[in-house]
Amino acid sequence: MNNDNQILKVSDLIVDFPIFGGIMQKEVDAVHAVRKVSFDLLKGETLGIVGESGSGKSTLGNAILNVLKLTAPDVHIDGEIFLNINDGSVDILNLEKNEMKQYRKHIQMIFQDPYSSLNPRMLVKDIIKESLDINSVLTESQKMEKVFWLLDKVGLSSEQSGRYPHEFSGGQRQRIGIARALATEPEIIIADEPVSALDVSIQAQIINLMMDLQKEFELSILFIAHDLSVVKHISDRVGVMNLGELVEINKTSDIFNNPMHSYTKELLRAIPEPDPIGREERKKKRLSSK
């Protein structure tokens, strides 16, 4: 990686899910989930990845975390994913399971469903402390002090740490998930549809929280979503995926004001227009450009 501002560089990434058939259950075909995708993630930026269901955007996030290669050996993965941290540059896809543990602290994930991503049998303090038990040399008292500090950072109190996940609302659970992701002090956060399961009013709160935390902790965020209005609000750049391909990537303002790819234009036309006057103006502009 030649650019000092790059913290992650993905080159020609391919992810194929094999399809087995016949009496011998041999591989007869494959689902091409990610097709030669290349991009970089810069230090301190939010890169939005958008696309419809089945576009490959979530598979892309899982590939970067290396969970597919480590847990699903039948999946075909090729390409390079270079992580650039203080220790130097390393290709994540070349790491074995035991080697990946030391790098996992640098990349954490915020999941889509705040209900299923938290262990219902664990107290909140233990959910957050779990990653510290694996990746930290802190004493127990220091770990708990950090847990309380993280809860405060995401807008929860230390008094709530002794509760179970079911005692919290959806928005509060996602705050817990964010605190858990921050526990290892990662450089990169992969947020996979982090607000899609929440009410619209709560979505704005979580997005604003993530933006504040990004500035405070100098995080790089890969923000995966299908909601273009959310992506527009949080992202510095936007990449558009369709059928496993990254068809366009550019600054957010350029994507929304001057899209180049036909698929990007179709996605933008599908955004609901609450202002009927604005809708008519956009319609006239499209007609005049034909």
Quick check: is 159 in a domain? yes
- In this prediction, residue 100 carries a pLDDT of 83
Quick check: is 143 in a domain? yes
- In this prediction, residue 79 carries a pLDDT of 96
Cα distance between residue 212 and residue 135, in whole Å? 25
Residue 161's Cα: distance from chain center in Å?
A: 25
- The mean predicted confidence, pLDDT, of the chain is 90
Cα distance between residue 218 and residue 43, in whole Å? 8
Cα distance between residue 45 and residue 211, in whole Å? 10
Residue 241 backbone class (left: φ over 0; alpha: ψ -120 to 50; beta: rest) = beta
276 pLDDT band, cuts 50/70/90, is very low
CA torsion angle 130 136 139 141 (round to 10): -50
- The amino acid present at 22, given as its one-letter code, is G
Instruction: Look at residues 110, 220, 131 and name the one whose alpha carbon lies nearest to residue 183.
Output: 131
Lowest mean pLDDT: which of 77-81, 117-121, 163-167, 279-283? 279-283
Alpha carbons within 13 angstroms on the beta-carbon side of residue 257 total: 5
- Residue 38 near residue 10 (C-beta atoms within 8 A): yes
Quick check: is 155 in a domain? yes
* Each residue's pLDDT tens digit, 57-91: 999 999 999 888 767 778 999 999 999 987 689 99
- Residue 218 near residue 44 (C-beta atoms within 8 A): yes
β-pairing, 188-192 with 220-225?
parallel
189-203: average pLDDT: 92
Which domain range does residue 161 map to? Answer: 107-185
Instruction: Look at residues 188, 202, 190 and name the one whose alpha carbon lies nearest to residue 230.
Output: 202
Both structure tokens of 209: 């929280």
| Axis crossing angle, helix 170-182 with helix 124-135, rounded to the nearest 10 | 20
Quick check: is 123 in a domain? yes
The label of the residue with tokens 């939005």 reads 48
On the question of pLDDT at 216 being above 80, the answer is yes
- In this prediction, residue 283 carries a pLDDT of 58
- Name the pTM for this structure: 0.89
Alpha carbons within 13 angstroms on the beta-carbon side of residue 269 total: 11
Lowest mean pLDDT: which of 5-19, 31-45, 72-86, 169-183? 72-86
Within the chain, strands assigned E span 6-21, 26-42, 46-50, 76-85, 88-91, 107-110, 188-192, 220-225, 237-242, 245-251
Q: Based on the structure, what is the number of domains in the chain? A: 1
Q: What is the percent of the chain with per-residue pLDDT over 90, rounded to a whole number?
A: 69
Lowest mean pLDDT: which of 69-73, 120-124, 283-287? 283-287
116-142: average pLDDT: 91
228-248: average pLDDT: 96
Lowest mean pLDDT: which of 51-55, 136-140, 185-189, 212-216? 136-140
Quick check: is 152 in a domain? yes
β-pairing, 88-91 with 26-42?
unpaired
pLDDT higher at 285 or 167? 167
208-231: average pLDDT: 95
Quick check: is 121 in a domain? yes
Lowest mean pLDDT: which of 98-112, 207-221, 228-242? 98-112
CA torsion angle 118 123 124 128 (round to 10): -80
Cα distance between residue 206 and residue 243, in whole Å? 29
* Each residue's pLDDT tens digit, 137-172: 889 999 999 999 999 999 999 999 999 999 999 999
Instruction: Look at residues 38, 24, 23, 27 and name the one whose alpha carbon lies nearest to residue 76.
Output: 27
- In this prediction, residue 278 carries a pLDDT of 46
* Each residue's pLDDT tens digit, 102-116: 888 899 999 988 788
Quick check: is 115 in a domain? yes
24-52: average pLDDT: 92
- In this prediction, residue 188 carries a pLDDT of 97
Quick check: is 131 in a domain? yes
- In this prediction, residue 290 carries a pLDDT of 55
194 pLDDT band, cuts 50/70/90, is very high
